[in-house]
Amino acid sequence: MKIQTKYHGELDIQQEDIVAFPNGIPAFEDEKEFIVLPLQNESPFSILQSVQTTNLAFVIGEIFTLFPSYDIELSQNAIDVLQLTESKDAVVYSIITVKEPFIKSTANLQGPIIINAVKKIGKQVVLNQSSYKTKHELVGSPAFVQEG
């Protein structure tokens, strides 16, 4: 199927690559299907592109690459929604707020995007009882040192 994307133009994607977000994403509850598109080779950053809405695309980063000491415990509700049976099937991303210059960009560690890579189900989890913030600086993270 062909879709228009915000950053990659028109792409031909496969149905099996689409990640279903049964509850949407907070503030975008009607958006139920996304695809993860690599930003560059060997980069911890990707684009979470809406299949339905061309201009809805988030820059996301692999949390454990950017912040190796990140720790998360999912609620039973999140595990059920994601249909996770093994933790190795979960891929954890952070939504990146890109700023100019890039060195000022931040990562939302309080609201990670979790994707069941096997079943292609996603959910943004909001961590209420957490020391993580919505605007953690990328500067100093191991991946940023390698990239930047």
Residue 3 has pLDDT above 50, yes or no: yes
Spatial CA neighbour of 34 closest among 3, 70, 65: 3
C-alpha span between 60 and 80 (Å, rounded): 23
C-alpha span between 58 and 107 (Å, rounded): 12
Q: Note whether residue 38 is domain-resident.
A: yes
The radius of gyration of the chain's CA atoms, rounded to the nearest angstrom, is 15
Q: Note whether residue 148 is domain-resident.
A: no
Amino acid at 53: T
Q: Note whether residue 34 is domain-resident.
A: yes
Number of compact structural domains in the chain: 1
- Neighbouring C-beta atoms of residue 85, cutoff 10 Å: 11
Q: Note whether residue 146 is domain-resident.
A: no
Whether omega for the bond prior to residue 101 falls within 30 degrees of 0, making it cis, is: yes
pLDDT, tens only, 74-124? 999 999 999 999 999 999 999 999 999 888 899 999 999 999 999 999 999
Quickly state the pLDDT bin for 147 (edges 50, 70, 90). Answer: very low
Q: Note whether residue 147 is domain-resident.
A: no
Q: What are phi and psi of 73, to 5 degrees?
A: -125, 115
**Predicted TM-score of the model (pTM):** 0.90
CATH number at residue 137: 2.30.290.10
Q: Note whether residue 32 is domain-resident.
A: yes
Q: Note whether residue 95 is domain-resident.
A: yes
Cα distances (angstroms) measured from residue 100 to each of 103, 109, 122:
7, 20, 29
CA 15 to chain centre: 19
Which residue carries 């684009």 as its tokens?
47
Tokens of 107: 């990562």
CA end-to-end distance (rounded Å), the chain: 35
Q: Which domain holds residue 67?
A: 2-141
